[in-house]
Every structure is written in structure tokens, then in C-alpha cells.
Amino acid sequence: MTTALITGSTAGIGAAFARRLAAQGHNLVLVARDTKRLAEQATELHDRHGIEAEVLAADLATEEGIAAVEQRLGDRTHPVDLLVNNAGFGNKGRYLEVSMADELTMLKVHVEAVLRLTSAATASMRSRGRGGVINVASVAAFVPRGTYGASKAWVVQFTQGAARDLSGSGVRLMALCPGFVRTEFHQRAGMGTDNIPGWMWLDADKLVASALADLARGKTVSVPDPRYKALMGVVKLTPRGLLGGMSSRTGRKYGPQ
């Protein structure tokens, strides 16, 4: 039986990955900050699907948290076959309205943690000749808008480059770029959602099913919905300056975690 490690597993897209993978019979390593919620999630998934669900409480905004997950990913006696780097957050406010401490924390979680955890996982996977990594980015990666979009653009570029370098090793990497998903993300960030049209909202469980299918097909970037695929096609043809203005009207964070 294979094992998947999911960061940010207790809510939103991370919780949807946990439900889907448990239903498919994968054992899980659940990573988040809230020990109580992790324990409740592990018990529920074990009781419902009969899988083993290991709990690892870690804050990926800290050195200790990243190091703890790195250590688990490097455990060759209990290998991880699939890593889902999902943990992330948004800051309310435009550039220079957000404190430098909060901006640096975002880079710690979205960039440093993704780099280090992907590296720890793929080193072990490459030695076994199999494995997969899904790095959750966002359609915000394709829109010039603040630190969030810039950090997610890094995730996409890094994942594509790493996938190219590991081609032929048996290890697959994919950047997942969802749009707006009904999760706790906006509430935690203090962001309003009244100005977001209903058609732009995605279902987390359907999104995860599509993402796992794209990983199996060998895609390195997944935009898992026809509506957003069409929208990204328009983005490619739109001048960057105009895109910046459009994203400003939509809000600081375009496309939730």
C-alpha cells in the first residue's frame, strides 16, 4: 500500500486530497499546525476507509516545522510515494500595505518549504525509481499581482524545471493551478468574496480528482477546469499592464489555495 504526505491537510484542497487518496486506499501522513484537527481527521479517515493515517503537527512558517517534515520524507524505511505541497495562505492588502514580516512568512511557506520538501521527497523517490509530487500553485501565477502571485509563479517554474531534470527517473512532478475554490482560505485571510462571480467557484473534490488524473497522464502543469483553461488562454493574449489592472479589481489574491 502506498503512502501520501499532504501539507495543509485539515481544510480546503488539502482535506479534499486526503479524502480522495484515503478512499483510493492510500495510507496518509497528515501535516498541519492544529494537532486537535489533525487527530480528528486521522481518526475519521481511518474509521471510514481502513487506512493508516499518521499525524505530523508542523508549522511550515518555521525552521523546526520544515525540518520535521523533511525528516519524515527522508525516512527510507517508511517511504512516501506521493507528496502534496498544499500548505499556503494569502495576505490582505496591496504591496507595501502588508508588513515585511508577513511577506517573508509567505515566501517561507510558499517557496522555501516547497523547495525543501520537494527536494527531500524526490531524492528518496529517485533512488526507488518511482513517486510523485503535486505542488499546489494557483492561476494567480499567471497574473502580475503582488507577492502571492509571484510566489505561485515560482512554484510553477520550479516544478516544471525539476520535472524536466528528473525526466526518465520514474518521479513525476506537477504544479496544480486552481482558481477560486470554496474553502476556508478567504475567511482566514480576512478577504471578502462578494465580488467574485458564481461561475468562478470550483468544487475542491472535483478539482482533486482532475488533478490526480492529470498527474497520472504525466502533465507538469494542471489547470483543472475548462472554465479556467479558457480564461488562461485569454490571459496569454492580454497585455501584462492590462492584466495588472484587472487583477487589482479582482483582489490581491487571484485564485485561492
Q: How far apart are CA 78 and CA 73, in angstroms?
A: 9
Of 175-179, 195-199, 236-240, the least confident: 236-240
Task: Identify the pLDDT of residue 255.
Answer: 39
pLDDT of residue 202: 81
Please state the rounded mean pLDDT for residues 88-104.
93
Share of the chain above pLDDT 90, in %: 71
Would you say 92 and 252 are in contact if contact means Cβ atoms under 8 Å apart? yes
The two beta strands, 53-57 and 82-85, are unpaired
The burial of 239, by beta-carbon neighbours within 10 Å (0-12 exposed, 13-18 middle, 19 or more buried), is given as exposed
Rg (CA), the chain: 17
As a whole number, mean pLDDT of residues 109-127 equals 98
Q: Is 7 in contact with 13 (CB distance < 8 Å)?
A: no
Domains and CATH numbers, the chain: 3-250 (3.40.50.720)
The rounded Cα 129 to chain-centroid distance in angstroms is 24
Of the candidates 29, 39, 34, the residue with the CA atom closest to the CA atom of residue 5: 29
pLDDT of residue 179: 81
If one compares 229 and 113, the residue with the highest pLDDT of the two is 113
Sign of CA pseudo-dihedral 114, 220, 232, 186: negative
| Least-confidence region, from 2-6, 51-55, 157-161, 203-207 | 203-207
- The number of C-alpha atoms within 13 Å of 196 and in the hemisphere containing its C-beta is 19
Above 90 in pLDDT, residue 236? no
Residue 162 contacts residue 200 (beta carbons within 8 Å)? no
State residue 155's pLDDT score: 98
**Position with higher pLDDT, 191 vs 17:** 17
Please say whether the beta carbons of 177 and 194 come within 8 A: no
Look at residue 247 in the predicted model and tell me its pLDDT. Answer: 44
Q: What's this model's pTM, rounded to 2 decimal places?
A: 0.86
Q: What is the pLDDT of residue 195?
A: 65
Strand partners, 131: 171
Separation of alpha carbons 116 and 170, rounded Å: 20
Strands 53-57 and 201-202: unpaired
Grid cell in block for residue 154: 515560482
Query: What does the pLDDT average to over 64-79?
Result: 97
Binning pLDDT at 50, 70 and 90, where does residue 166 land?
very high
Alpha helices in the chain (DSSP H): 12-23, 35-49, 63-73, 100-107, 113-128, 146-165, 185-189, 204-216, 226-237, 240-250
> What gap in Å lies between CA 120 and CA 15, rounded to an integer?
23
User: Contacts for 231-237 with beta carbons within 8 Å, 24 or more apart?
Assistant: 231/139, 231/179, 232/139, 232/142, 232/177, 235/142, 235/143, 236/142
- What amino acid positions are annotated as catalytic residues? 148
Percent of the residues in the chain that have a pLDDT greater than 70, as a whole number: 80
State how far the Cα of 160 lies from the Cα of 167, in Å rounded to an integer.
10
pLDDT at 198: 58
